[in-house]
């Protein structure tokens, strides 16, 4: 994700992975102070064991000159056999619900 107000085109980077309890953990780097986390967020708890995690953002390349916007920062994983959608709003992960498959 492009860093807001950064003239050097630096990116915020988020790494998500599943721990042995089934929760998805998050580590991130959003400034020059280094990596933060790992942190568990409620919206990422209880994923199916071994689930795949996929995320989309507005940009993954600083040369794109896209503005930092959080509305497309979404991730998907399985929980109870359904595909769960979560949104990152810049400070917290918000559960958007399950993706309809019909």
For residue 2, being part of any structural domain is answered with no
The per-residue pLDDT for range 32-54, each reduced to its tens digit, is 899 999 999 999 999 999 999 99
Is the pTM higher than 0.85? The answer reads no
Question: Which residues, 6+ apart, have CB-to-CB distance to 41 below 8 Å?
Answer: 24, 26, 92, 93
**What pLDDT does 10 receive?**
77
Give how many domains the chain has, as a whole number.
Answer: 1
Within-domain flag for 70:
yes
**What residues pair up with 97 in beta bridges, in sequence order?**
85
What's the pLDDT tens digit per position in 60-72? 555 556 566 677 7
Tokens of 72: 């497309």
Q: Which domain holds residue 30?
A: 13-98
**Is 53 within a domain?**
yes
């Amino acid at each position: 994700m492009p860093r807001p107000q950064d003239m050097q085109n630096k990116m915020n980077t988020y790494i998500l992975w599943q721990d042995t309890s089934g929760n998805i953990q998050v580590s991130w780097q959003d400034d020059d102070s280094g990596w933060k986390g790992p942190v568990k967020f409620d919206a990422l708890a209880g994923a199916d064991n071994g689930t795949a995690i996929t995320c989309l953002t507005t940009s993954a390349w600083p040369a794109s000159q896209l503005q930092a916007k959080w509305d497309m920062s979404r991730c998907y994983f399985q929980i109870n056999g359904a595909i769960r959608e979560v949104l990152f709003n810049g400070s917290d992960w918000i559960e958007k619900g399950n993706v309809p498959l019909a």
